[in-house]
Structure formats: C-alpha cells, structure tokens
Amino acid sequence: MRGSMRIGKILGIPIWINYTWFIIFIFIVTTLALYYFPWYYPSSAPGSWSPLTYWGLGVATSLLFFASLIVHELAHSIVCVRNGIPVKSITLFIFGGIARISREATRPTTELAMAAAGPLASVAIAALFGGIWWLTRDTVEPLAAMAYYLALINAILAAFNMIPGYPLDGGRMFRSIMWWKTGNYKKATHIASITGRGIGYLFIVGGIFIMFYFGLWINGLWFAFIGWFLNNAASGGYRQALLREALQGFTARDLMIRDCPTVPPELTLRELVQAHILYTGRLFFLVSDHGRLMGSLTLQSIKAVPQERWDYTTVGQAMTPVKEMKLVHPADEAVSVLERMNEEDIEQLPVVDGERVVGLITRDSLLHFIRIRSELGK
C-alpha cells in the first residue's frame, strides 16, 4: 500500500503501517483518555485515576488493539501459507489491517478456511482479555478496565467481520459458499460484490438516519463513512477479480511490448529532446549500453536539469540507475505484474532477462491486452 512504512517482520511476513493508521490511532487514544475511561472511571470517584493514568492507559490500550489486528491478519496469513499461498505483507491502515497475498485461493474450501481464521482469532483474543478482566476486576482496576475494553472491541471486530459483505471476512466466506454451490468463481464474486455493496448502502442510509433522527452526527458520519468504504471496496474487489481472471495463465512475456526503443547513455539531453521527445512524443526512455540496461529517464528527470545545461549533460548523468528501478522478468505472472503496478503506482515496468532489456509493460498496454481478451470473449 502506498504511503506506508515498514516496522518489522513477524513469522517472516513484513509488517507495514500506512499513514492513515496514525489518524485512527490518535483518534482512539484521545477518545479513550478524554471520554471513555473518564466516563466509566471518573476522577471524582474514590481512588480516582490521574490524568497521566488516563493517557497512559489510552496509549497502551490502543497499541494492544492494533496488536490484536495484526494477530487477526496473521491468522489469515498462517492459513494462506499452509495452503501454499505466499503472504507478501500485512499493512495497518485507518480501517484496520489487510494481508497482501500473492494469489487467490484455488478452491472454495481453502478460501473459507482463510476467511474464517481472522474472526476466530479475534474471538480467541476477546476471550483472553475477558479472562484477564475477570481475574483483575476487583484488584487492579486500570488493568481490568483495559482488558474489558479490549475484550469488547475484539468481540465487535469479530462480529463486524462476519457481516456477509465482500470484501469483509464474512463476505469472503459467503463467496466461498457461492463458489462451492455454483462452481463459478467469477459468478460467486459477482454475487458477493452485489451483497457487499448493498450492505454498504445500508450503512450509509443508517448513518444518515442516526445523524438526523438522533442528532448523533459523529456516530452517523462514522457509519456512513464505513458504508462508503464497503461500497467502494466491494466494487473494486469485483473489478480486480475480473482483471485477475483475464490475466490468469499469462506471464510478463505475453504482456510486454517488444518494440521498445532505447537510448545510449552518452546522448545529451538536448539531442534526446530534439531527436526523440519532440519527434516521437515519448516521455519515458530506457537507457541501454549494447543491450545492457543502464537505467531509465522520464520527462520529469529531464525538466529537473536547467535547460542551459542540456548541451553537456548526458542521459547517463540524468537517468535513474537500474539498481533503483522496479523490474520484472519474462516468467513473472501477469497477475503479480498488475498488482505491483497498482500497489506501487507504477506506469511502466521494464522486462529484463539477466541484464538485457527484452520488453516494456505499460499500464496502457496491460489494459489494452485485457480489453482485447474481453472483446474476444476470452
């Protein structure tokens, strides 16, 4: 996911945090420290807590909640790995967490197990914290308060994820059942997507009702926001399923443009602009020295060099070196190429065989390939 930073590895799986996570983290800490804990454990009560206790407990509870989300996603990931599906990463963001897998399940029973693992983990975590609350409720009040909240929020998380709206876990379980009954992955995804969008609309309507009927604007907006997210995620999930199906069985070799002109590193920027950009309209160039890929050059890289230096600045000096480029190989799966372009917001991916450039995949050429297959009824 773009805008994310890596914080470490668990069970060999990279863990990332998206910038949107900090928004929800601050929101949860503030809500707990200023509203939730003071409401249930007021400072005026005997043996009351200090402001530092409220804030410390708010931070600790929030961190443990997000640790619970990681465990939820790890449960999905463990089932994936045991079924031969590599997990590339886990990312925390504003709506929770997401495990990025290299490919979808090939059997409905596998997807059912993968989807069910997360909610089951959340139920187990809720039971664990519920037990801690039971043992400490009359002895260590701050610990009991934190455990009670974590037990409650994980139970809610499990229940919410079981809503049969794709792409929630419940929606994926629903899709796996439809897949098993129809024997058609595409049709099952379509049914699950429609259901997910319907549930998203219900959340939006419910949020509007809460705002105007009860006057609870924050709660209503939050419900409507979740509905909007579910609606868009369901639509995007179905589009992605169609794209994945269209690319299934193909590799980068099938998608790449073989007529891929390169420019030598000794060419000056002035010569490149006059002989190539103005003449052909190309805005992206691969730099090659006798077939060996050296780097790439974009219009933005050229514009970063003052025009008065174009006559003596070479392509080799202005280019992005090959070691900093994103590359794919001819045998790479077409689906993984698409995912990589989407996740890293890449418009072009050079295809290399060893150090030799053999082709180029652009977003336009990839979508053109999918469109042609669709028109041919493939």
- The token duo for 139 is 């002895």
User: Cα separation of 111 and 167, whole Å?
Assistant: 12
Identify the sign of the CA torsion 300, 304, 309, 315: negative
User: Cα separation of 130 and 122, whole Å?
Assistant: 12
Q: Which residue from 115, 241, 229, 231 is spatially nearest to 189, judged by alpha carbons? A: 241
Kindly report the backbone phi and psi dihedral angles of residue 308, in degrees, each rounded to the nearest multiple of 5, phi listed first: -70, -10
Residue 326 amino acid letter: K
- The token duo for 142 is 């701050």
Residue 73 annotated as catalytic: yes
Calculated CA dihedral for residues 80, 83, 86, 87, nearest 10 degrees: 10
Cβ-based neighbours of 341, under 8 Å, separated by 6 or more: 347, 349, 361, 363, 366
User: Cα separation of 101 and 359, whole Å?
Assistant: 27
Do 3 and 18 touch, CB atoms closer than 8 A? yes
Consecutive H or E run containing 297: strand 292-298
Q: What is the CA radius of gyration of the chain?
A: 26
User: Cα separation of 64 and 69, whole Å?
Assistant: 9
- Tell me the catalytic residues: 73
